[in-house]
Chains A and B, each alone.
Chain A
Amino acid sequence: MARTNPIAASLSTATTTREGVGGVARALRLLQVSAFHTLLAVVAFIALFPIVWLLVGSLQTIQELYRGVTFWPALPQFQNYYIAWTKGGFSVYLPNSLFYSTVSVLAILLAASMAGYALARIEFPGRGAVMFLIMAIIIVPLPATFIALYKLLVDIGLANTRTGYILAMVAAGLPIAIFILRGFFMRQPKELEDAAILDGCSAFDVYWRVMLPLARPGLAAVAVIEFLRLWNEYLLALVTFNSETLMPVQRGLTKFVSSDTPEQHILLAATAMAVLPVLILYTVAQKSIIQGIMEGAVKA
Chain B
Amino acid sequence: MKHCMTIVFLAMFFTAQGQVYITRTGSVSFFSKTPLEDIKAENNQVYAAVDLSQKTIAFSLLLKSFLFRKALMQEHFNENYVESDKYPRSTFKGTFTGEIVPGKSNTVQIKGVLLLHGIEKNITTTATITLNDGSLTGQSALQLIPEDFNISIPGIVRDKIEKQIAVQISIDCKPAG
Binding between chains A and B: no
The residues of B with any CB-CB pair to A shorter than 8 Å are: none
The residues of A with any CB-CB pair to B shorter than 8 Å are: none
